[in-house]
Structure 1
């Protein structure tokens, strides 16, 4: 695939940490103005290849037993810092995966971009200020002058990603490396960021190397694709050839991992929970006496129903009120309105009585690594709920062990997994542990708050299949929160669309996807088809 316009060339690259070889035999090239996507699941070695280009790995513990990396004919592996500094930021810019951890929380947007301009261009004062405004405008930040004094936490996810892109473009690089630039973003923001990258590429004749596990992104933006698995390059071709005629079995597996299918409608189901006129407000400002003078209404007069063996999905962008609503239903935040579970108004009962109901109303969180204690074994994590909700006759240690082993096997894990700790498992396995922790209490309703958003597509498909099979086997009901409409379509019976704290549309999944009525629903659906 090489040509006279070749900007980046990697030949037989290997990456090792100490004696352990992680990446081997990776070769590809990228022409000026073209886009190459490196795809594969977490742990495939994608980011290690990208960091190797700028020699940003923790050398000398990390090293390259073999391989060469060329930028415009200049070989970079092992080059001294002075040479690399002329490449980093100038010739090659990089957007990292999580802008919140890549941006300095103590510095304003202006200071962070200004630092880049000072180091690489020597710009200060009015010239620097003008260039910062120009860059923020270029990446689509509205009223950029008003954002100069903002700190990262004061920006939305999409705005933070745009600031990262502005910093990467500050020195007009010929190659932009984008490491999972849309993973943590809502579908509408994802589309905006990808469209922005495409327009900037065309305007600046820039090459783009994008790292992703999302084949929607690949289809939308790439010219050619490199598929990686277990540190090796297993397929390298044009985008059209890859999608129309994949050669390798793993590539076919990735392409087939897209969530598919729809749930059939339930007939005469039993109502188990209803919520009426739920409102949640957060104080923004209080006066001297502590009285709230300004507040944010996060959820506004929302009502819903959930039936036995039914999955009700709540969709919408970050900040729309999805998780806040779910927490209100579980009585985990301060709210008004009525929540009725099996005929009992749970918002009116005493704390002790509510505590008894908790075992029937469980929750699985978005990030299993953050929600599982690293200091507890998997056995203790899962057994904790049993110990909190002990029956009148406490269970023996042997009885608890038996139940833990049973629920581990039910979610597809080995029964001896209980002896290990969360960090010893993959992301998909940790999410299975989180589901097991909820299941062991034999709940009727489980709130699933973005349970697959942090997972690779193939793992997502496995978790969705598990949830569907458990629902059929145990008659579970789910309140499923997500911004991924392909996932929602696969698992839900009904869909509620939230926007600015309100339900703007609801209906059966089939009807919402086939005949959306509200403009916001139409935008969501269009954005999900990149």
Structure 2
């Protein structure tokens, strides 16, 4: 590699927090126009490496005992804020893993994208709006003009991720660091975004450092692969070599971690949850008198049944209404239509009665960092449900502690995490905490909203097997929302396909995957094979 083509060189990078060594011995190079993928389990140091490049760690508590980071021939280690600010968001941009926590909840989408255009390009007014609209079109946002005034909470997870990508690409950077850039995206949008990044990379001769747990994406889009484990570099080679002939056992384990198998057909069981003609509408504009003049129909006349011990998967593109439907079923958002739980209509329940029902109806949200209180320890987060329902459960503090430790162990976390806080964990570890919080009340039905989207493949496989074993042992029912069709195929008994808030097809998992009738479903299945 000649000096002119070398965009980024990381030499023997180490990271310590106070006196604790977290990362060491990481070395790699990235050429202009090339893509390097960093893979490894949650907590392996992937994001820590990326944040070090932009010098975004909590210095001076964090420090680099050794190593260097050289970008376009200049070392970034220890540079002044003025130098780093000229690089961040301009020459080097980053797509962060969790868009809901990276976007400002108080600012509109237009203001957030325009901010980076003003800072680095000096664009204001009409020119800034035109560029913002151009970026929204570029990343596939429907009706972009109407989204300019929207706030992050008004968008789906996939739409928020696309906004993050638009912000990162705003100034056409030389290096794009993409930390799980397609985590929240459905298969078709995922493919569109990856092809978009590839085309922009070719046009701008941009280097891409991609952090991902999706090895299918790595195989299709990365030139080189760096494998990490527990803060150490395990393997570093060209992508074809890593996939065809991995040198390390750990790499082989990662490659073999794709969810496999299918659920056996389920005999008819009693209906746990039934929904009839559920519709959800969100007001977009109101008159002076407060009357809605323009609305978004997010869910339209959806009816479904979930049986005891069954997993019903809901799939569809980002913004199709999957999460909104789930929240309506749990009475977490206003809706029309009827929801019946174990023969009892829950739409018109008194608040106290509905509260009691929620012990048996739990949810794991898509974004664990946003759904876990940053002010509560892991112990308090997981134990909270028991404290809420302890009038019925009647457990003493010692019994509660035993239950918390048991459920943490069940999801693969050691009891030593009890006194730590959400920000001290990786994305995958936070998701396991969220799953533990839902499991501790031993519910009859759990809504799983993208429960494995933040997890690497090996942990994802463990969580899927865990969910299957819990279902078998306790007869649990799952409403499983996911864009990962390999996961859907391995865990679900039936599949319901949503598009623009409407059911377009439903059936057994086997039928949907082998003989789908609808062209949209067929396109989803094709897009999942990149």
How far residue 498 of structure 1 moved from its aligned partner, in angstroms, is 1.0
Unaligned runs of 5+ in 1: none
Indicate the SS of the match to 1:347. Answer: coil
**After the TM superposition, which of the residue ranges 506-515 and 34-43 deviates more from structure 2?**
34-43
In structure 1, what is the Cα distance between the partners aligned to 2:34 and 2:490?
Answer: 34
Indicate the SS of the match to 2:184. Answer: coil
Indicate the SS of the match to 1:208. Answer: strand
Equivalence for 1:198 = 198
CA contact (8 A) 2:191 2:527 kept: yes
CA contact (8 A) 1:2 1:29 kept: no
- Indicate how the Cα distance of structure 1 residues 75 and 358 shifts in structure 2: closer, same or farther if over 3 A, else same: closer
Equivalence for 1:360 = 360
- 1:273-313 per-position Cα deviation (integer Å, ceiling 9, x unaligned): 32221222233344455444433322211111111111001
- 1:320-373 per-position Cα deviation (integer Å, ceiling 9, x unaligned): 222222222223333222323333333355444444433332323334444444
1:308-347 to 2 correspondences below 5 Å: 308-347=308-347
- TM-score, structure 1 normalization: 0.84
Matched residues, number: 521
Equivalence for 1:166 = 169
In structure 1, what is the Cα distance between the partners aligned to 2:412 and 2:440?
Answer: 14
- Indicate how the Cα distance of structure 1 residues 166 and 152 shifts in structure 2: closer, same or farther if over 3 A, else same: farther
Equivalence for 2:135 = 136
Equivalence for 2:160 = 157
Indicate the SS of the match to 2:523. Answer: helix
In structure 2, what is the Cα distance between the partners aligned to 1:372 and 1:488?
Answer: 25
Equivalence for 2:215 = 215
Unaligned runs of 5+ in 2: none
CA contact (8 A) 1:108 1:149 kept: no
CA contact (8 A) 1:2 1:31 kept: no
Indicate the SS of the match to 1:359. Answer: coil
- Indicate how the Cα distance of structure 1 residues 22 and 321 shifts in structure 2: closer, same or farther if over 3 A, else same: same
Indicate the SS of the match to 2:358. Answer: helix
Equivalence for 2:225 = 225
Equivalence for 2:497 = 497
CA RMSD, Structure 1 to Structure 2 (Å): 3.7
Equivalence for 1:115 = 119
- Indicate how the Cα distance of structure 1 residues 373 and 50 shifts in structure 2: closer, same or farther if over 3 A, else same: closer
CA contact (8 A) 2:93 2:169 kept: no
- TM-score, structure 2 normalization: 0.84
- Indicate how the Cα distance of structure 1 residues 295 and 113 shifts in structure 2: closer, same or farther if over 3 A, else same: same
CA contact (8 A) 1:408 1:436 kept: yes
In structure 2, what is the Cα distance between the partners aligned to 1:195 and 1:505?
Answer: 28
How far residue 264 of structure 1 moved from its aligned partner, in angstroms, is 1.0
In structure 1, what is the Cα distance between the partners aligned to 2:406 and 2:56?
Answer: 45
How far residue 48 of structure 1 moved from its aligned partner, in angstroms, is 3.6
- 1:418-457 per-position Cα deviation (integer Å, ceiling 9, x unaligned): 9635546665555455444444444322222222222222
Structure number with bigger Rg = 1
How far residue 218 of structure 1 moved from its aligned partner, in angstroms, is 1.2
- Indicate how the Cα distance of structure 1 residues 265 and 11 shifts in structure 2: closer, same or farther if over 3 A, else same: same
In structure 2, what is the Cα distance between the partners aligned to 1:399 and 1:19?
Answer: 36
- 1:164-216 per-position Cα deviation (integer Å, ceiling 9, x unaligned): 243240xxx54433333323333322222211111122223333222323223
Indicate the SS of the match to 1:262. Answer: coil
1:420 pairs with 2:424:
no
In structure 2, what is the Cα distance between the partners aligned to 1:179 and 1:428?
Answer: 13
- Indicate how the Cα distance of structure 1 residues 148 and 402 shifts in structure 2: closer, same or farther if over 3 A, else same: closer
